[in-house]
């Protein structure tokens, strides 16, 4: 493709090998992009919440993965559409920045684009919609600052961190052991954290696994676990105050000096454990599982929980989950839209409607009537001025997320809103798609 000018100085595009390319322009191009993004978001929608469904994915070499982690699902889907790949990158960005909320950010972006399509059909220009979304995003993030809560914690009082961590784990395969796993993750993070600087180096936390045993056998080791056997059965089982030689070349038996070998759970699997090194605070979470698929999913779940705990050490501000913060932000955006006189007010109202897609998905995946459940909570939030009311996914009998101890990090919610808005703006600005024809 190249740009040329006619005798009046007006530019026009010259397509080389035009017969071998297809071109879509204008509203048709925008709608095509929206449909591609919506298709990706629709796949993840059923995986949201504590009762979300898992996906089974098979790689080209036959390996099977079962997971409900948004970033993992999209990474293994091998999306070919370029707009679909933007949604994959969106999920990766959330995973890289926060470590949690990878499903929510894609579902939010899909809902924003779905409502944008209706506005385009009404005649609104895509850029005016994008601008309205930007305004609404600022209002929503400001509202998060207004409704957030903070909590204090210390190495001797980890309960607040554990409660927030259990929210992340409640939708994972380790849900029935979320309390135990949350305590392991919190203790691991605090072992390597520099609380004075509010900094955490997750590279010092190693998540190691071995097939066998049960999830209950998962434990935290204050050191390093290595899957190695002794070179001779008569070697001592425990050594103290030893010096360890680290070699970067092949070394045949006898093996280097080691410390001791322990059994985990009721199995006979034995591992090499190195503990008590004075110059490092590295720790290992040793995971057990019945098979490799379960083991890998537990590792992914613990990764999310470690990232959430790290974020809370850096910033201990939280909002309440169960869709409570999304409904509160939707109400704030609707109120702000009433003060806008330009056409952006329609985009802001669409943004508010899109935010409700999260609590709707939570209710739907929990077997509750989605519209009725969200409407009832929204009404109560308005009447009681209580931003802590959300969807009772676990049917405990109360919609107050404070009583259910369901928290989420403010940093995660802000990142979801910001990244979803930015990718929507990017997609809405595409009005010309030129690609090679599928049939040459």
Q: Which residues have C-beta within 8 Å of that of residue 407, sequence separation ≥ 6?
A: 163, 164, 167, 318, 319, 320, 321, 401
Query: Please, is 181 exposed, middle or buried when counting C-beta atoms within 10 Å of its C-beta (0-12, 13-18, 19+)?
Result: buried
3-state DSSP assignment of residue 1: coil
Which residue has tokens 């809902």?
A: 111
Instruction: Point out the catalytic residue in the list 67, 69, 166, 400.
Output: 69
DSSP states along 93-162: HHHHHTSS-HHHHHHHHHHHHHHHHHHHHHT--HHHHHHHHHHHHHHHHHHHHHH-EE---BTTB-HHHH
403: DSSP letter = H
Number of H helices, E strands in the chain: 14, 17
Write b or e for each residue in 328-356: b if 16 or more Cβ atoms lie within 10 A of its Cβ, otherwise e.
Answer: bbbbbbbebbeebeebbbbbbbbbbbbbb
Residue 70's nearest CA partner among 14, 32, 34, 108 is 108
Determine whether 102 is an active site residue. yes
Query: DSSP labels for 46-62?
Result: TT-STTPPPEEEE-TTS
Kindly compute the dihedral angle of the four CA atoms of residues 211, 216, 218, 220, in this order, to the nearest 10 degrees.
-170
Q: Which of 102, 164, 167, 218 is catalytic?
A: 102
Helix (H) or strand (E) holding 64: strand 64-67
| Pairwise CA distance, residues 403 & 373, whole Å | 18
| Whether the Cβ atoms of residue 346 and residue 122 lie closer than 8 Å to each other | yes
Asked about 65 being catalytic, the answer comes back as no
Pairing verdict, β 283-289 and 205-211: parallel
Write the CA distances from 390 to 97, 363, 376, 377, integer angstroms. 26, 10, 10, 6
Cross-strand bridge partners of residue 209:
287
Of the residues 304, 309, 392, 400, only one is catalytic, namely 304
Q: Which of 72, 103, 166, 167 is catalytic?
A: 103
Residue 157 bears catalytic tag: no
- Give the residue numbers marked as catalytic: 69, 102-103, 304
């Amino acid at each position: 493709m190249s740009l040329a000018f006619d005798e009046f100085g007006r530019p026009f595009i010259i397509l080389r090998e035009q017969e071998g390319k297809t071109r879509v322009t204008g509203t048709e191009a925008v709608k095509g992009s929206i449909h591609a993004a919506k298709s990706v978001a629709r796949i993840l929608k059923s995986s949201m919440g504590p009762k979300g469904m898992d996906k089974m994915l098979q790689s080209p070499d036959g390996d099977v993965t079962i997971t409900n982690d948004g970033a993992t699902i999209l990474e293994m889907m091998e999306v070919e559409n370029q707009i679909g790949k933007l949604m994959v990158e969106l999920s990766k960005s959330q995973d890289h920045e926060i470590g949690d909320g990878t499903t929510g950010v894609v579902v939010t972006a899909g809902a924003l684009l779905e409502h944008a399509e209706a506005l385009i059909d009404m005649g609104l220009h895509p850029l005016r919609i994008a601008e309205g979304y930007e305004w609404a995003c600022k209002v929503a993030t400001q509202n998060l600052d207004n409704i957030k809560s903070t909590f204090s914690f210390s190495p001797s009082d980890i309960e607040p961190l554990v409660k927030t961590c259990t929210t992340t784990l409640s939708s994972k395969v380790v849900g029935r052991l979320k309390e135990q796993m949350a305590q392991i993750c919190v203790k691991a993070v605090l072992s390597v954290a520099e609380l004075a600087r509010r900094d955490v180096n997750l590279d010092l936390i190693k998540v190691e696994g071995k097939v066998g045993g049960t999830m209950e056998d998962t434990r935290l080791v204050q050191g390093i676990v290595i899957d190695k056997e002794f070179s001779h059965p008569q070697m001592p089982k425990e050594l103290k105050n030893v010096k360890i030689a680290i070699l970067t070349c092949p070394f045949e038996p006898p093996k280097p000096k080691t410390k001791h070998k322990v059994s985990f759970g009721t199995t006979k699997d034995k591992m090499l454990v190195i503990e008590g090194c004075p110059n490092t605070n590295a720790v290992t979470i040793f995971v057990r599982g019945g098979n490799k698929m379960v083991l890998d999913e537990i590792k992914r779940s613990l990764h999310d929980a470690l990232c959430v705990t790290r974020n809370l050490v850096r910033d201990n501000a939280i909002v309440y989950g169960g869709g409570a913060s999304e409904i509160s932000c939707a109400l704030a955006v609707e109120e702000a839209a009433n003060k806008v006189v330009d056409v952006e007010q329609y985009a802001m109202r669409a943004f508010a409607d899109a935010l409700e897609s999260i609590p709707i998905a939570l209710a739907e995946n929990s077997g509750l009537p989605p519209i009725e459940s969200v409407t009832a909570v929204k009404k109560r939030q308005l009447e009681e001025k209580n931003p802590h009311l959300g969807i009772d996914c676990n049917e405990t009998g109360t919609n107050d997320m404070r009583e259910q101890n369901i928290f989420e990090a403010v940093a995660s919610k802000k990142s979801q809103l910001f990244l979803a808005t930015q990718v929507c703006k990017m997609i809405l600005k595409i009005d010309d798609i030129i690609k090679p024809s599928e049939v040459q």
